[in-house]
Structure 1
């Protein structure tokens, strides 16, 4: 159904956006890429520090702009608000860890920046129509 399609599409979209925004050739002097260049450092930080607190004010400071301006830049360049992008990135990393490691579910959630196992499970289930444990069991069979 639609859940399966979205579960397949979201990781592909995230990877494409990340690749475009972190490839030097795409962040040259073309004015259309000014926002991409400004966000490149922020995107790298998000992907490399998922377990940390990734608040919008902290990310705006990293980009050197106000919170309101950061939200606008991010939405314009990425097509989704920062908090949604962070959640989708965390969920995608969690999906990868569930499929490729034997880490306990709680540890997967923690390493991906979820505040508790129950919060992780609720977010994962909303995105993938399955609990993390159910997803892991399904992917391994």
Structure 2
């Protein structure tokens, strides 16, 4: 049975985890009986070794320029060297050439910068590591950048968020090729989530939102986190802070980029996500603990933000899914 040819593209200052997550999942699929199996090769400009962000070196198995075999999937890794790679005409030419014959083209993390530079992402909706999303959108205005999802499929193109989001994208590929059951066993084998939905947010509020420098805004946020079930209306928060609603709203927009009500809802939704994955509370109980007036109000807010219902999220994340 002819193997599916998977090319992973690396370059100087590639992120090692971006490569390893992809290659390990495909290898695990082979060990678990993927038919047809995957043949994964790491290629680089010139075919030499590449120094990873961590300082370790990876030896490529082939040259990007001299690869002419039938390619099923090409995956461009991310790393601190992504912008330099995106300015290399040879890299862009050969990535574009190989993408033209591949069934699927994908990027991991900041590898989206390389794909964007080829023009392949023009008019497409893509994601990348949330830290670099604004810069990607600024550099490539024809690309629709969404920093939220873990990964995005747009036709034959796929892009994933930061680093370990490549696990989720690779599991999605395996499920597409061999079905959900094999993908589930691969996830169990590498001890990761059984599969996060692509539109789940990459990062929680507590890790993505920088702690504001402004003392008053920081104090209000601390109060919100510590008193999530209280009345956290903007007027209530303003009164507690001793400022007008207008002034508090201005400070939040200036230092957080969003009004107080939006920040409160984000924190509450993060609480919902944590309760869904760490407890067996009913939806009504989860809503109450997170400060929502009802389970339906919580559900609507969750769908609006993440594109998935709380119950769907719990079903994909629950640690109670075990191999029987």
Q: Mind listing any 5+ residue stretches in structure 2 that lack a counterpart?
A: 1-125, 127-145, 151-198
SS in 2 for 1:53: coil
Aligned residue pairs, count = 126
Q: Which has the higher contact order (CA 8 A, sep 6+)?
A: 1
How far apart, CA to CA, are the structure 1 residues paired with 2:270 and 2:203? 8
Structure with more strand by fraction: 2
- Matching of residue 7 in structure 1 with residue 200 in structure 2: yes
Backbone CA RMSD of aligned residues: 2.0
SS in 1 for 2:209: helix
State the match for 2:228 in structure 1.
50
State the match for 2:66 in structure 1.
none
Say which is worse superposed, 129-138 or 87-96, in terms of deviation. 129-138
Superposition TM-score, scaled by structure 1 size: 0.79
Superposition TM-score, scaled by structure 2 size: 0.36
Structure with more helix by fraction: 1
How far apart, CA to CA, are the structure 2 residues paired with 1:115 and 1:94? 13
1:1-141 equivalent positions in 2, closer than 5 A: 4-5=149-150, 7-9=200-202, 11=204, 13-17=205-209, 20-21=211-212, 33=213, 36-140=214-318, 141=321
Is residue 7–residue 127 contact of structure 1 (8 Å, CA) maintained in 2? Answer: no
SS in 2 for 1:102: coil
Cα deviations by residue, 1:36-95 (Å, 9 ceiling, x for unpaired): 111222111100111111010111122221111111011101111111111111111100
1:10: Cα distance to partner?
A: 5.1
Q: Mind listing any 5+ residue stretches in structure 1 that lack a counterpart?
A: 22-32
How far apart, CA to CA, are the structure 1 residues paired with 2:307 and 2:245? 33
How far apart, CA to CA, are the structure 1 residues paired with 2:296 and 2:290? 13
Is residue 38–residue 63 contact of structure 1 (8 Å, CA) maintained in 2? Answer: yes
Higher gyration radius (CA): 2
